[in-house]
A = this chain, B = another copy of it.
Amino acid sequence: MTRIAILGPGLLGGSIALAMESLPGAEIRLWGRRAEVLEEAARRGIGAFHSTRLCEVVDGADIVVACVPVGVMEGVIREALPALGTKTLVTDVGSVKGTVVRVLGPLLEGKALFVGSHPMAGSEKTGLDAARADLFQGSVCIVTPEPATSPEAVTKASLFWEKLGCRVRQLDPVVHDQVCARISHVPHVAAAALVNAVAQRCPEAFGFSGPGFRDTTRVAGGAPSMWTEILLSNREAVSQGLRALVDQLEEVIALLEQNEGSVSAPLDAFLSAAKQRRDQLRLR
* Chain B residues near A239 (CB-CB < 8 A): 253, 256-257
Q: Contact string, A242-270, partner B, CB cutoff 8 A, digits 1/0?
A: 11111111101100110101111001101
Q: Decide yes or no: A199 and B273 within 8 Å by CB, A190-B190, A193-B249, A249-B246 being known contacts.
A: yes
Known: A222-B271, A228-B268. 6 other contacts (CB 8 A): A182-B201, A190-B190, A212-B218, A217-B281, A242-B253, A242-B256
Q: Contact string, A206-239, partner B, CB cutoff 8 A, digits 1/0?
A: 1011101111111111111101110111010011
Q: Decide yes or no: A232 and B246 within 8 Å by CB, A196-B270, A197-B182 being known contacts.
A: no
Q: Could you show 23 A-B contacts with beta carbons less than 8 Å apart?
A: A140-B208, A182-B201, A183-B208, A183-B210, A188-B212, A190-B190, A192-B271, A193-B248, A193-B252, A197-B244, A197-B247, A212-B218, A213-B281, A221-B279, A222-B275, A224-B268, A228-B267, A228-B271, A229-B262, A232-B267, A235-B259, A239-B257, A242-B256
Q: How far is the CB of A137 from chain B (nearest CB, A)?
A: 13
Q: Decide yes or no: A256 and B232 within 8 Å by CB, A187-B217, A217-B187 being known contacts.
A: yes
Q: How far is the CB of A232 from chain B (nearest CB, A)?
A: 5
Cα–Cα distance between A236 and B227 once the two chains are bound (Å)? 33
Is A23 interfacial (CB 8 A cutoff)?
Answer: no
Cα–Cα distance between A61 and B242 once the two chains are bound (Å)? 53
Most buried by B among A171, A193, A201, A243: A193
- How many copies of this chain does one complex carry? 2
Q: How far is the CB of A192 from chain B (nearest CB, A)?
A: 4
Are B221 and A275 in contact, with the CB atoms below 8 A?
A: yes
Residue of B nearest to A187 (CB): B216
Q: Which of B183, B193, B243 contacts A213 (CB 8 A)?
A: B183
Cα–Cα distance between A249 and B221 once the two chains are bound (Å)? 17
Are B218 and A202 in contact, with the CB atoms below 8 A?
A: no
Cα–Cα distance between A104 and B218 once the two chains are bound (Å)? 37
Are A202 and B219 in contact, with the CB atoms below 8 A?
A: no
Cα–Cα distance between A66 and B200 once the two chains are bound (Å)? 35
* Chain B residues near A201 (CB-CB < 8 A): 182, 241, 244
* Chain B residues near A243 (CB-CB < 8 A): 253
Cα–Cα distance between A120 and B121 once the two chains are bound (Å)? 32
Is A277 interfacial (CB 8 A cutoff)?
Answer: yes
Q: How far is the CB of A161 from chain B (nearest CB, A)?
A: 14
Is A12 interfacial (CB 8 A cutoff)?
Answer: no
Is A81 interfacial (CB 8 A cutoff)?
Answer: no
Which 4 pairs between the two chains have the least Cβ-Cβ distance? A192-B274, A193-B248, A224-B271, A195-B274
